[in-house]
Structure 1
Amino acid sequence: MKTILTSKDAVMTAQQFNDKYPVGAPFTYFSIKGMPSTAKDVETTSEAWELGSGDAVVKVTGVSGGVSVEHLEAK
């Protein structure tokens, strides 16, 4: 069963993400959230961290910079 990292009422924090997923965990990354045509298989290469805005981001394979955990779907 796939895990969706966000819901209407709650967004996963960096700490929650790190507690649940180790570095190297596989995900499907959507460069445009909700658009299947933008899906790409990736693995995390860092722990997640929070931006000043509070958004949680993490580094993944094949993508420059941090990506929002809201754009990831666990495999």
Structure 2
Amino acid sequence: MLSAAEAAMDMAAEDDAERQRNRAQLYAPPKEARRRMSGGALRRDAAGLSAGDARALMAQMAAEDARFGGPRG
């Protein structure tokens, strides 16, 4: 569906600069998501975890390893 919209916008564009602006607008995140992100949101990696969340998960895994006898090698 995005490809069809992009093709239609490309055909209506008068020059490359307008095509680039159209693509930027088409693929931009929704306004609500931009507001949430700019409102002091924590930086997250590709998996969607903040650094604090990742540290908490690692601590939980270390506790489970200790409970079950630790890693075996």
Larger relative contact order (CA 8 Å, sep ≥ 6): 1
For the aligned pair, the TM-score class normalised by the smaller chain equals under 0.3
**TM-score by structure 2 length?**
0.18
Higher-Rg member (1/2): 2
Whichever structure has more strand as a proportion of its residues is: 1
